[in-house]
């Protein structure tokens, strides 16, 4: 699977969905691989694949856990892959 080309972006997820995903990631006490699987599930339900290595790196560096939800959206765009 290839990453999305720079000219293609995934949908803008509702703020409530991003906040719920973040809350679940923070409350579940998961390691970075398990958190990447949760992100994979979130994206798969919405019709996208995910690069698990990139998702694990994003979680490990706290890109999806802290900061503005816009940053989380950008991270999801980066780790999503076309199905």
Identify which of 51, 77, 46, 48 has the alpha carbon closest to the alpha carbon of residue 64: 77
% helix / strand / coil in the chain, to the nearest 5?
Answer: 60, 5, 35
Q: What is the pLDDT of residue 20?
A: 94
Residue 23 — φ and ψ, nearest 5°? Answer: -60, -45
pTM comes to 0.78
pLDDT in tens, 28-74: 888 888 888 999 999 999 888 888 888 888 888 887 888 889 988 98
Distance CA 83, CA 25 (A): 24
Give the three-class secondary structure for 8: coil
């Amino acid at each position: 699977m290839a990453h999305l080309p720079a000219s293609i972006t995934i949908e803008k997820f509702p703020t409530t969905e991003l906040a719920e995903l973040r809350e679940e990631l923070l409350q579940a006490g998961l390691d970075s691989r398990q958190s990447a699987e949760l992100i994979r599930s979130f994206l798969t339900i919405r019709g996208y694949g995910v690069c698990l290595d990139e998702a694990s790196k994003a979680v490990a560096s706290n890109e999806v856990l802290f900061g503005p939800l816009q940053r989380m959206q950008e991270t999801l765009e980066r780790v999503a892959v076309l199905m």
